[in-house]
Homo-oligomer: A and B are copies of this chain.
Amino acid sequence: MTQKPKNKEVLKIIPLGGSEEVGKNCTVFEYNNEIIVLDLGLDFANEETPGIDYILPDINYLKQNKNKIKALIISHGHLDHIGAIPYLINDLGNPPIYGLPLTMGIIKERLEEFNLDKKTKLNVINLDQVLKFKNFKISFFRVNHNISDSMGIVFETPVGRLIHTGDFKIDLTPTDQKVIDLEKIKRLGQEGVLALFADSTNATKSGEAVSEKVVAEMIDKLFGQIKGRIIFTTFATLVTRLQEVIYAAEKYGRKVMIAGLSMEKTCRVAIDLGYLKVKEGTIIWPNKMKKIPPEKLVILASGSQGTENSAMARISLGEHRLVTAGKGDTVIFSSSPIPGNEYAIHKIMNALIDLGVKVIYEPLFGIHASGHANKEDQKKIISLIKPRYFIPAYGEHVMQAAHAETAKETGVLEKNIFILKNGDVLEINKNKEARVSNEKVSSDIVLVDGFGIGDVKSAVLNDRKILADSGIFLIIVVLNREKNKIINLEIISRGFVFMKKSEELINEAKKKINKISEKYLAAKGKEKNRNDFKNKLSLQIGDFLYTKTGRRPMILPFIIET
C-alpha cells in the first residue's frame, strides 16, 4: 500500500469514506500538487463496532499530503458530511472550508463546541461563485435534499469536467421554494461532462421521490384535525420540515416548545440565518409550557431515530424532566428509520402506545419524504449529464450496483462505470482514459470512543464482541513459591452465567484448575513453564465450560506467585 502517486499528469479521485456505506463521506480530488477535499463526515456505530460513538474516515493519505490541500468543500450540513471536521481538521493542517450559509452556520456551531472556531477558516460562498485553483476551477449548483443549502459541485480539471451531485433529490415543489438547478445541469451536460459521481443512497427504490410539499400538506391536515397536544419529532437538521411545523402551529394557534439539544441548536442557527421564519411569541420557553392548554401546544422533540437519552426516548420512558406523555397526546414521527435503528424506534413507539398516546408514523401516513433521489430521478440526472464515466457515489455497494444498472439503462457503457471501494484510486489521464489504479491508499475505519480517536482498534472490538456474546471467566491462582503449593484460588465471572445458581459448575471448574495447577507445581526445570500453564488453564477450562454450557466466555487466567 504505497502512498505516493507515480504520474503527476493524472487526475486522481479517491473516496476515503462513503463509498462502502451510507456515512463518513470524504472524497479526494488530486491533480499535481493540488488536493481538493469534498466533505468530511462521520458514521455511527454498527453491529461490528460495539460501544463506539462515531466512525471517521481514514485520512492518513491526506495527513501525508497535507501541504497539497487547497480546500475542503462541504456539500451540505448533515453529520455524514461535516461530522468529522472537529476531529480531523487540525490533522489536515486547517485548510479553508467552503460551503453555503446554512452549512457553514452549522459547522461554526459545532466548531465552537470543540473550541476550534477561532482556528478554522470558514468561507461562506454563494451558488454563483467560482473557486479558482491552479488545476481546478470549481463551481456549484443547487440540489434538493432534506436540509436547505445543499449543492452539487462542478470540477473543471486539466483532464476534463467532473460533476459530483452530493446528496440530492429532485423536488419540483420543495417547501423552501428552492428547486434543483436542472437548467444548469442540462447545460453542463450539453457542453460535455467527463465523469459523474452521483448519490446512490436510494438507488434500490423505484419510482420518484415524494415531494416535501406532500409532507407539508399532511402536517397541515393533521394539525387541523388533532385535538390534544402534539409531540412532533423529525431529524433535527431538517429545517424545512421544522418550518412546516412552525407554519402549521401558527396557523392553528399552537405554541411551540423545543425539547432536545440538537433540535435547539438547529433552530438557533436556522433562525439566526433566516432559514427558519418564526413569528414573535410562537416558540415558548419550558417554564411557560404549564400555562398553555394541551390543544394549543406542539412539542418539537429530537430523537426520531430512537437514540438513547434523546428527548423522545426519555418521554417514552416517562423520564423526561418537562414532558409527561399520556392519553390525549399525539406523537408524530416525521421520519423514516436509518437502517439499524428500527429496533430502538419501535421500542419508543410501543412504549408510547402503552402510555395511551396515539402514534402517527410512516408508512401508514404520508408524513415523511426521503432526501435522496429514487431510481427514476437518478435516471433523469444521468440522462441530462450524459457523462462518459459514471461512478455511483455515497452508499453501500448493493446500492451502487443498482445505480450502475440505472446508468447502463441511460446508455453509459458498462466498462465506463466504476464501483469504488474506500481507498481506491480512480485515475483519469490527459487522454481522458480512466482506470482504477493498482495502488490503494489506507482506508481503515477510525473509531471515536469517549475522548479517544483511533485508540480503539479491531483487537478491542473483537474483545468487546466476545465479552458481549458470552462474558468473561477469571481464574486467579495464587501460588506460594517456597512451599510449592496453591494457597488461593478465586474464580469470578461476569456476563457468563448467573453465579449464584452455578455453584456446581464453579466447583467442578475449581477442581479442574487445581489439577492443572498441581501438575505445574510438580513439574521440574524446563517442564515448569508458566506460559504453558496459563495456556492450559485457558484451553482446558474453556473446553470444560463449553461442554457444560455451550458457551465460550473469554477466559483470563492469572498466576500470582508469592
A531: min CB distance to chain B, Å:
15
Q: How far is the CB of A486 from chain B (nearest CB, A)?
A: 12
Given A340-B342, A463-B471, 11 other A-B residues pairs in contact with their CB atoms under 8 A:
A50-B469, A339-B346, A350-B396, A353-B397, A353-B401, A354-B421, A358-B401, A364-B375, A449-B549, A488-B560, A488-B562
Per the 8 Å Cβ criterion, residues 364-413 of A in contact with B are 364, 375, 396-398, 400-402
Q: Is the CB of A364 within 8 A of B450?
A: no
Q: Which of A30-38, A264-272, A434-442, A454-462 contacts B (4 or more CB under 8 A)?
A: A454-462
- Give chain B residues whose Cβ lies under 8 Å from the Cβ of A401: 353, 358-359
CB under 8 Å from chain B, chain A span 190-210: 204-206
Q: Is A51's beta carbon under 8 Å from chain B?
A: yes
Q: Tell me the smallest distance from the CB of A533 to a CB of chain B, in Å.
A: 16
A274 is an interface residue with CB less than 8 A from chain B? no
Given A449-B551, A558-B490; A495-B478 close (CB under 8 Å): no
Residues of B within 8 Å of A558, CB to CB, are 476, 490, 492
Q: Which chain B residues lie closer than 8 Å to A358 at the CB level?
A: 401
Stretch from A5-13, A496-504, A522-530 forming part of the interface with B: A496-504
In the bound complex, residues from chain B placing their C-beta under 8 Å from that of A464 are 467-469, 471, 495
Q: Does A516 contact B (CB under 8 A)?
A: no
Q: Which of A340, A402, A450, A465 has the most CB of B within 10 A?
A: A450
Report the minimum CB–CB distance from A217 to chain B (whole Å): 18
The one of B343, B346, B495, B560 that contacts A490, using a Cβ cutoff of 8 Å: B560
Chain B positions within 8 Å of A498 at CB level? 455-457, 459-460
A474 CB within 8 Å of chain B: yes
- Is A519 located at the chain interface by the 8 A CB criterion? no
A-B contact pairs, 7 of them (CB 8 A): A206-B364, A349-B398, A449-B551, A460-B498, A467-B468, A490-B558, A562-B562
Contacts of A472 in B (CB 8 A): 467, 472, 494
Q: From residue A397, how far is it (CB to closest CB) to chain B in Å?
A: 4
Chain A interface size, under 10 / 10 to 19 / 20 to 34 / 35 or more: 35 or more
Query: Which residue of chain B is the closest to A339 with respect to CB atoms?
Result: B342
Residues of the B chain whose Cβ atoms lie less than 8 Å from the Cβ of A487: 562
Q: Is A511 among interface residues, defined by CB-CB distance under 8 A?
A: no
- Contact residues, A88-110 vs B (CB, 8 A): none
| Contact between B346 and A396, CB atoms less than 8 A apart | yes
Tell me which of B51, B549, B562 contacts A478 (CB under 8 A). Answer: B562
* CB-based contact B455/A502 at 8 Å: yes
Knowing A464-B495, A498-B457, A551-B450 touch, does A470 contact B402 (C-beta < 8 A)?
A: no
A20 on the interface (CB 8 Å rule)? yes
Enumerate the 7 nearest inter-chain pairs by beta-carbon distance, A residue then B residue, closest first.
A450-B550, A468-B468, A467-B467, A463-B495, A51-B469, A464-B495, A451-B550
Q: What's the minimum C-beta distance from A284 to chain B, rounded to whole angstroms?
A: 30
Within 8 Å of chain B (Cβ to Cβ): is A188?
no
Contacts of A346 in B (CB 8 A): 339, 396, 398
A354 to chain B: which residues have CB within 8 Å?
Answer: 397, 421
- Determine the chain B residues whose CB is within 8 A of the CB of A495 once the complex forms: 51, 460-461, 463-464, 467
B contact residues around A419 at 8 Å (CB): 353
A364 contact from B46, B51, B349, B402, Cβ within 8 A: B402
Distance in angstroms from A352 CB to nearest chain B CB is 8
